[in-house]
Amino acid sequence: MEPGSQNIAKNTTWLTSAYIFQKIFAFVYFTLIARFLGATDIGSYVFAISLATILSVLIDFGLSPVLIRESAKNRGKANLYLNNIITVKIILSIITFIIAVITINLLNKGQMAEIMVYIAGLVMIVDSFNLSFWGIFRAWQNLKYEAISIAINQILIFSVGLIGVFLKFPLYVLVIALLTGSLFSFIYSLTLLKTKLKFKIKPNWNKTVLKTLFIIALPFALAGIFTRVYNYIDQVLLSILIGDQSLGWYSVAHKMTYALQFIPAAFAAAIFPAMSNLYKTDKSKLQYIFEKSMYFLIILSIPTAFGVYILAKPVILYLYTAEYLPSILTLQIFIWGVIGLFLNYPVGSLLNACDKQIINTINMGITMILNIILNLILIPQYQHLGAGTAALISLSVLFILNLAWVPKIIKYNYKYLIIKTIQSIISALIMAIIIYLAKPYLHFILLIILGAIIYIIIMYLSRGFNKSDIKYLWQAMIKKQI
């Protein structure tokens, strides 16, 4: 590899490893607190975080990705850009926090919910500044420190949160745990900016600089708003329209499905730099990478959906106890969305790499509107099941909308992908039948292992994959060579 490619691979490895660690730790943490607290309390916690997360986009307003891009182009002005963005974020933080206070008081959710939203508001403010601070390091192509921060942040949240729960502190201790992690990242990143990069941090207001940054930031801001609302509005609406207990049941299915997101995210991190380069240099190889990426995520997502559908009951009962029995059917509905969730990663990466990010943003906006409408229709009638159904439909629609643009960029072999999809479905169906028959006799962990072995054997015998496919996957994910 060239030196630049080595640097990209090294950075990708650092950040991907950190995110995988974070996802695993976060899932274990959520599972433990859900068991100890129960559906209603975990629903209250999820509501506060979801509301704050939606509002947090008003603070960043797309400025962090702009800071990364513009600082990478002109490092000499990076400190100036950062200081101006800090000034704007201070103002936006105050405005957004006031909006959060007004919103939670209007909703009349009770004192505990208000306290949690207030603390979550502080978390969203600190995290917004963290985004900008780490953005400078991304512009410098140094992701090592951010990866370390992500890991320590999650450990702090895990430790403070669980200690608080075990000692039976008030529910808002969970949000204090988030604030603890965020404050560490803030102090760590700010210290590194000053010591490693010699930045001078002080508020600055340069109208010319800010005007330029805001013009560039607008599409990023829209993308951020669409993404945040799309990902969290179902949880907010479920809490408001039905109640926190229903949200608690739903959040389990939501968390289990999205916990798997690190798989396509890691794959996308590996292929995106190559896609960006090949779009200008080699369209045929770009087509090959896209097809291979889709293929691997097809043969991973389909058996995952079948397996979780069959094992939903023992998994929920073992991890979350009988209190979460209503989560089982929700998970069985929601998990089919993992197929669209996985496959949208290579499709979205292709659009972004080939200067079609505006299309991606528009499609996200359409999906967001659809998602809100579906939730407003389905939640009042079907509660958490309605929210799960809305999520499944929305994930599928977003994938279809983005996929429709791929033929306008590259000519890919859709027949090859259809054949592989059929092979995967047949193999996964046989696997599911065997797991179902063996379910009364084996623990679900053994069933997962058995299912994986059966699926791999059937796919290999039916030539669903071969040795060259395994070699390509190893080079893409481990060696970062495409």
CB 327 within 8 A of CB 451: no
Closest residue by Cα to residue 279 from 409, 414, 473: 409
Query: pLDDT band at 3, cuts 50/70/90?
Result: very low
What pLDDT shows up at residue 457? Answer: 92
Confidence check: pLDDT of 4 > 50 = no
What pLDDT shows up at residue 76? Answer: 85
Query: pLDDT band at 273, cuts 50/70/90?
Result: low
Average pLDDT of the segment spanning 34-49 = 94
Confidence check: pLDDT of 168 > 50 = yes
Same domain, yes or no: 382 and 453: yes
Question: Residue 351: which domain range?
Answer: 242-482
Confidence check: pLDDT of 242 > 80 = yes
CB 56 within 8 A of CB 127: yes
390-437 tens-digit pLDDT: 999 999 999 999 999 999 888 888 898 999 999 999 999 999 999 999
Average pLDDT of the segment spanning 91-95 = 94
Same domain, yes or no: 233 and 247: no
Last residue of one domain, picked from the residues 189, 217, 237: 237
Q: Which long-range contacts (CB under 8 A, 24 or more apart) does 224-229 make?
A: 224/57, 224/60, 224/61, 224/62, 225/57, 226/361, 226/364, 226/365, 226/367, 226/368, 227/57, 227/364, 228/53, 228/54, 228/56, 228/57, 229/54, 229/368, 229/372
d(CA 331, CA 254): 7
Same domain, yes or no: 212 and 303: no
Residue with the larger pLDDT of the pair 355 and 381: 381
d(CA 118, CA 115): 5
Same domain, yes or no: 46 and 123: yes
DSSP annotation of 404: T
Query: pLDDT band at 1, cuts 50/70/90?
Result: very low
Closest residue by Cα to residue 272 from 251, 258, 293, 252: 293
**Residue 414, Cβ neighbours under 10 Å: how many?**
13
Last residue of one domain, picked from the residues 210, 237, 264: 237
Same domain, yes or no: 443 and 460: yes
Average pLDDT of the segment spanning 268-290 = 76
Same domain, yes or no: 127 and 189: yes
Phi, psi of 40 (to 5 degrees): -65, -50
What pLDDT shows up at residue 17? Answer: 80
Average pLDDT value over all residues in the chain: 88
CB 68 within 8 A of CB 194: no
DSSP assignment of 310-336 equals HHHHHHHHHHH-GGGTTHHHHHHHHTT
Same domain, yes or no: 110 and 28: yes
What secondary structure, in 3-state letters, does 141-201 show? CCCHHHHHHHHHHHHHHHHHHHHHHHCCCCCCHHHHHHHHHHHHHHHHHHHHHHHCCCCCC
Same domain, yes or no: 250 and 231: no
Distance from chain centroid for Cα 270: 16
What pLDDT shows up at residue 122? Answer: 96
Same domain, yes or no: 160 and 36: yes
The residues, ordered by sequence, that sit 6+ positions from 170 with a Cβ below 8 Å of its Cβ are: 112, 115
Distances (CA, A) of 307 to 30, 258, 301, 418, 431: 22, 16, 10, 21, 8
What pLDDT shows up at residue 5? Answer: 45
Query: pLDDT band at 152, cuts 50/70/90?
Result: very high
What pLDDT shows up at residue 275? Answer: 74
What pLDDT shows up at residue 422? Answer: 94
What pLDDT shows up at residue 333? Answer: 96
Query: pLDDT band at 74, cuts 50/70/90?
Result: confident
Average pLDDT of the segment spanning 271-292 = 78
What is the number of H-type helices and E-type strands within the chain?
A: 17, 0
Same domain, yes or no: 66 and 87: yes
**Residue 83 identity (one-letter amino acid):** N
**Residue 392 identity (one-letter amino acid):** L
Tokens of 46: 């999820």
Confidence check: pLDDT of 469 > 80 = no
Tell me the percentage of the chain whose pLDDT exceeds 90: 59
Same domain, yes or no: 164 and 268: no
Lowest mean pLDDT among 143-147, 172-176, 294-298: 143-147
Strands (E), 331-436: none
The residues, ordered by sequence, that sit 6+ positions from 447 with a Cβ below 8 Å of its Cβ are: 311, 314, 435, 438, 439
Same domain, yes or no: 319 and 455: yes
Residue with the larger pLDDT of the pair 332 and 281: 332
Last residue of one domain, picked from the residues 221, 237, 253: 237
What pLDDT shows up at residue 475? Answer: 60
Average pLDDT of the segment spanning 31-37 = 93
Tokens 């969305």 — which residue?
337
